[in-house]
Structure 1
């Protein structure tokens, strides 16, 4: 479920218009791939937690999308983490 919220957030970054329909299609493909990758990782508290890898995936997608390194922060929390993009 958490991955779906992230995917929806990333998809919301690419508004759909007639002029950028292909870009939007590419964005949808990227979101689907990112969702598959993140869902394959264990991102809950406890042994084997890979939340840091999930955060790194989304951080990488934001960087590829034009965000600067200074606009993205991964904050450790207990044995998980959360991502802030401003």
Structure 2
């Protein structure tokens, strides 16, 4: 009877070790997939963020240029009432 208990304990221990090894490889696989997903999507996010910043800078530059042109036009025609018409 003692032999059967020892054999069962050894088989159970072997099963636990095998299951744990399988879990580690599955965890590594999941970790690798998550890491790859993050690398790909972080890159896309950074690229979109840079494009948004470039667009915002261009919009600000255009807004400033329009304001400057509008201000210079007002100063140009502010001199005489005949030029305003």
* Both structures adopt the same fold (TM-score exceeding 0.5): no
Q: Structure 2-normalised TM-score? A: 0.29
Greater share of residues in strand: 1
Structure with higher RCO (Cα < 8 A, 6+ apart): 1
Larger Rg: 2
Q: Structure 1-normalised TM-score? A: 0.29
Greater share of residues in helix: 2
